[in-house]
Structure 1
């Protein structure tokens, strides 16, 4: 495994870093550009997205024929971390969840007709999208086998949907939806993925669920389905292949979260270092205090461990493997590192960190969800234990090349 960046990827990384510094951070610093949910407002976002497109920094994660640059997962890891030096970065480059994961799964599994209708408008930035899988109890959360929302085949071949979903990220602003519903009780082939548009009748947004942290565009919503009709051509990946769709989408999506979270963790360190370098107490700068040095040094080590775990998982995905245990390890470690980075950043900044004078408190509230979204810490640790039980000492085997 060689994580040396190619000159092409390094060029994109450097250009993104420069764009974030010169274009996005000044907008982030101007609170008048924020919306009521503490995200970037639509006018400022539209201006920055136009600049990102003009600079050739748009949808880097997709294949060239889809409208991207085909950087691969290792390239994405380097670039996504730079994007999220700003809290507003990823959405400017059209690399934010949930559109990011939805575009990649549509690119991988969509038919040419589905790509033209459902994918292309997301790629262009014309619409936003949502992935509707999670359900209220007793429905499915981290365990898709528990999904209760049902799709019943009609005499004309269409499907009629009934059920509920909740915590659907971006639903209020989304036009294109991917919905996971049960089409049979088969434990392996009982789920199917469907595509639908917000203007189709037979469903509604029950509420936008208030959350602890700042919100993505479109919030986190509860949806009710009572007669939504979906045509056969809007089945994604084939009937009974919904579990495959979730696997193709969620593995890389979990890792892209980690890529972005590393950027936020680094921003916390940056803010803490800047303050510690100038703030004095009892005649000593904070940066000279051993306690502060221990906090920042330990945090730097944790971020570097996270980078290596993310790069290892990205490399595995680029080799065509699912990288389930590698993604799980990265997800647990980076989520906790982000939370710790925000906490330490606030501690070093004191009252300033707790105030809204910096983005530390924004990141802190946002970071708490990292240990829950796309599988709680405990779920991923159980996944790792299953690998350990089945592989034994092979769990720790080194990848080997051909002789």
Structure 2
């Protein structure tokens, strides 16, 4: 693997890095920059997004024809990590979940008319979006075969009944992608649809309170009681809902890893600076062997996560679904994020536990990483299945 960045990508990386340092990071230290849910205040976000567009750094995952940067997945890994240095960073560049994953799947599977109506407004930053799949027990979570929300065909419309929850961004979303059951077929029983916020027949039951700071629009519980969706708003064919989900989640899981790596590096940056200046028992914290072990191990785990993320990104760019590569990256980076932030908080002591640094924000945020888009245990099951099927080929080299 050649990790040399092209001149264009290195230029973009430096420009993104400078923007984050100059325009975004200073806002984190001001309590007035936050909304009621501990994310960046919407009016500030709009100002920063306008500056990002003016700087030519908007939507790296989208084609240039759509107003993006036209980056490959591997190039996205470099830029997303750089944006992730700030807790506010990714959303400023229109590179945050769930819009990020929704844009990518609509670009891949939508018709031209669907892309113009549903995708382009998200790319342009005119609307936010959500992906409605997860359900309360006994409905679908990591196992989509348990889907209980139904869509029944009536003429040229589909009528939806059911319930979803922990739908990220639903509180502010205007465009929704919905996965619902359309038959009892075990493989082709799910279908994907799009609907707009103002359609009758559904409601947001509540914005679910969570331990950590929230994404814009929160994590909501939705109820569907006769929502009608025109058949023209169906993605792909009837029965292709699982396919749509797999296409979306592969790259979306990896973009989580990219952003989390930036956050993990930032946490260690804060710890490094503190350890280099704080004295204890006659020497700097950084000179204590125990602190060195903590920093060194966490730094190594971050680098392992970067390597696995880039390997998965290159596999996706080569046309693979990269299921085991993405699962390995997801496990490693999710666990590493929590470890890096915990290490930084431990080194910074009471200062890290306070709101004088963003570490306590990161700590609460990081715990969800081992749950979202598939718990670590589910991804380990994926890896075990690949190992049982592939044997020694599990570790095979990809040849040209």
Which runs of no fewer than 5 residues in structure 2 stay unpaired?
A: none
* Post-superposition CA distance 1:200-243 (Å, at most 9, x none): 00000000000000000000000000000000110012211101
Shift in Å, 1:65: 2.0
Shift in Å, 1:108: 0.5
Q: Which residue of 1 aligns with 2:13?
A: 13
Which secondary structure does the structure 2 equivalent of 1:229 belong to?
strand
* Post-superposition CA distance 1:90-140 (Å, at most 9, x none): 000000000000000011111111111111111111110000000001110
Q: Does 1:61 align with 2:61?
A: yes
Q: Which residue of 2 aligns with 1:108?
A: 108
Q: Which residue of 2 aligns with 1:288?
A: 287
Which runs of no fewer than 5 residues in structure 1 stay unpaired?
A: none
Give the alignment of 1:3-402 within 5 angstroms. 3-154=3-154, 156-401=155-400
* Post-superposition CA distance 1:165-191 (Å, at most 9, x none): 000000000000000000001111111
Shift in Å, 1:284: 1.3
Shift in Å, 1:392: 0.3
* Post-superposition CA distance 1:60-114 (Å, at most 9, x none): 1111222212110000000000001000000000000000000000111111111
Which secondary structure does the structure 1 equivalent of 2:237 belong to?
coil
Distance in 1, matches of 2:67 and 2:52, equals 14
Displaced runs of 4 or more, over 4 A: none
Which secondary structure does the structure 2 equivalent of 1:205 belong to?
strand
Distance in 1, matches of 2:141 and 2:257, equals 20
Which secondary structure does the structure 2 equivalent of 1:230 belong to?
strand
Asked if the contact 1:353–1:360 (Cα under 8 Å) also holds between the matched residues in 2, the reply is: yes
Distance in 2, matches of 1:167 and 1:75, equals 30
Distance in 2, matches of 1:116 and 1:281, equals 60
Asked if the contact 1:171–1:220 (Cα under 8 Å) also holds between the matched residues in 2, the reply is: yes
Distance in 2, matches of 1:322 and 1:68, equals 23
Distance in 2, matches of 1:157 and 1:317, equals 36
Distance in 1, matches of 2:333 and 2:265, equals 11
Which secondary structure does the structure 2 equivalent of 1:292 belong to?
helix
Distance in 1, matches of 2:216 and 2:305, equals 27
* Post-superposition CA distance 1:139-181 (Å, at most 9, x none): 1001111111000000x22000000000000000000000000
Asked if the contact 1:66–1:107 (Cα under 8 Å) also holds between the matched residues in 2, the reply is: no
Shift in Å, 1:10: 1.2
- TM-score under structure 2 length normalisation: 0.99
* Post-superposition CA distance 1:280-314 (Å, at most 9, x none): 11211101100111111111110110000000000
Asked if the contact 1:259–1:310 (Cα under 8 Å) also holds between the matched residues in 2, the reply is: yes
Distance in 1, matches of 2:399 and 2:50, equals 44
Distance in 2, matches of 1:148 and 1:375, equals 19
Asked if the contact 1:181–1:193 (Cα under 8 Å) also holds between the matched residues in 2, the reply is: yes
